[in-house]
Structure 1
């Protein structure tokens, strides 16, 4: 379903499926386990069911939505049946949806809906896991805390806010190092390796003990000096969540609701995994929201974090957080503050960047073309093995909407 008529129809239907105040349409579906999901062993149907019901895997905290959701306008120019090349083969929009098992996609141009579709049984009210898109949300909330003076500087030591890590590999690590995934702590992110650090973190989450995740992080050895090497680590984001919690003295979900979800007009209550009953949010994963609200988050970021007429992010944060960095020693880093830098030449010229999560979740932002693309998918494996590279598709969308 796509185009202006579909978008209008879906907008009218969304309140009936929202799942915030009433029953959730997918609540009785059969789902797999967290271990099966990360092992990549679920059948396609079970993968879909599980990704839209991850709040049944672990306790969650609600991210309250707005009482007056911000309505989307429909863009005058709609996205048509675009075509693009990958190697010597040509694909189109329909191919991307089918081959990459897209469960939903919305494209905003200048904040207006240029395309919207729902697949695999999803509706506008379906909550879908963000996976590592949550990392970009967490880093943004750290920016809000800096603006409010709750965090004085990104150059402060992480241990100031997480005393539990004193005497560990995180001694001498700055908040900025954590946001750039360059703490120097040794880490193996292999999702399907039962012996990896990432799976140790999942086991800590499964234990539902408040300090279990930081126990994992406190035992890590130091591999290199802080700030000198990038090493992608979901555990690093859990440290970021503890830093934020230590600064705001409250739940991350409540802070997200108070600062962004309610005032920016998100329409459906989101859910965020907890490390224990009533405990801390899993800052690097487990935030489930609707496709439209993911798109609104992208638009919020594109617009410089402006809520109710004022920016809630520090001056220059958008540019600083979403651009490539240089590590200590001069090594280049195609990563911002838990945002990925776009990889193609046209996208780099547009200063495009993205939040992305395993199984094919994206919030893609092109500042020059004023385009936001939110995609949810149900890839068969967690390693982002999309057969059609999403960056090529995103480039084609931005080009078509010029």
Structure 2
């Protein structure tokens, strides 16, 4: 092993100590793969908000197939039975694109997480909080409460569960195995899930709707495959899984988190040489379209984890350029 790689692994063990694994693909070939904290290629890690970028791909597939006519459709068009409260006008003008670009307003100032986690229907719960006095078009990142509306839209338009739609149209073609829906009966079960490395599945509410902002577990290799699929403009083994047009549109800037000067696409973070899916604790799928590099980092949960993009830019990429 090259000394530079030894230094990288020492850095990971000392300053990025919650890392479960890291792999690097260059031109489609695995050039580095290593695991930490007792994790292995079989480990399944909760990737938190990386789930959002997976959902972005699923929305793209639904658009490609005509299930969704346009991302400019209004959200309420997908939920004709939903009753809007009196004098609530903002919600009527919010579109699917606003959800994808995090430019939809919500009524809550502080996220009511306890009520969300104990809700039996995440879609209706999120719809009830959509709108309010905020301005449509202003960036507002919603980690958990809000993205589930996208799951509801997929169910309505595809005519099947998000889990089944993903398994059939994305996971199976890529050789990704996600075992089952996961529901929690207690707070303790959820906390155990966040720490586990041996649970394969996707969190769903009591109504069977999969979470869109978090809740998916993947292996390190699975994460890398998603990145490689996007680098290859939606093609996998000669098959167009999602259109190149959707990949191009979803991974370019449509909004920006001004506070942190971070460009945002359709549930992807955008940077000058590519794009990334980023989840809490340091879970990342990083794609450098110029250098044809994919870096996947799976991490065990830790509050205020160090920035993995900085690690990738300064220490990982230079080893393989």
TM class, shorter-chain normalised?
0.7 to 0.9
1:375 equivalent to 2:297? Answer yes
After the TM superposition, which residues 94-113 of structure 1 pair with which residues of structure 2 at under 5 Å, given as runs?
94-100=10-16, 101-113=18-30
Match of 2:65?
A: 148
- Determine the C-alpha separation between the residues in 2 that align with 1:117 and 1:374: 11
1:271 equivalent to 2:194? Answer no
- Determine the C-alpha separation between the residues in 1 that align with 2:82 and 2:234: 31
Q: Tell me how far 1:206 sits from its aligned partner.
A: 3.0
Contact 1:324 1:333 in 2 (8 A): no
Match of 1:392?
A: 310
Match of 1:31?
A: none
How high is the TM-score relative to the length of structure 1?
A: 0.66
Q: Tell me how far 1:214 sits from its aligned partner.
A: 1.6
Contact 2:262 2:270 in 1 (8 A): no
State the structure with more CA Rg. 1
Contact 1:205 1:213 in 2 (8 A): no
- Determine the C-alpha separation between the residues in 2 that align with 1:326 and 1:246: 26
Q: Tell me how far 1:255 sits from its aligned partner.
A: 1.0
How high is the TM-score relative to the length of structure 2?
A: 0.82
Q: Tell me how far 1:305 sits from its aligned partner.
A: 1.2
Q: Tell me how far 1:326 sits from its aligned partner.
A: 4.8
Candidates 83, 101, 111, aligned match of 1:197: 111
Q: Tell me how far 1:259 sits from its aligned partner.
A: 0.9
1:133 equivalent to 2:46? Answer no
Match of 2:105?
A: 184
Match of 1:222?
A: 132
- Determine the C-alpha separation between the residues in 1 that align with 2:238 and 2:231: 14
Gaps of 5+ in 2: 180-199
SS for the counterpart of 2:68 is coil
1:118 equivalent to 2:16? Answer no
Gaps of 5+ in 1: 4-78, 84-90, 189-195, 343-347
1:401 equivalent to 2:317? Answer no
- Determine the C-alpha separation between the residues in 1 that align with 2:130 and 2:255: 25
1:232 equivalent to 2:141? Answer yes
Q: For residues 125 and 232 of structure 1, do their structure 2 counterparts lie closer, same or farther at Cα, with a shift above 3 Å needed?
A: same
Report the aligned-residue RMSD: 2.4
Q: For residues 150 and 237 of structure 1, do their structure 2 counterparts lie closer, same or farther at Cα, with a shift above 3 Å needed?
A: same
Contact 2:278 2:285 in 1 (8 A): yes
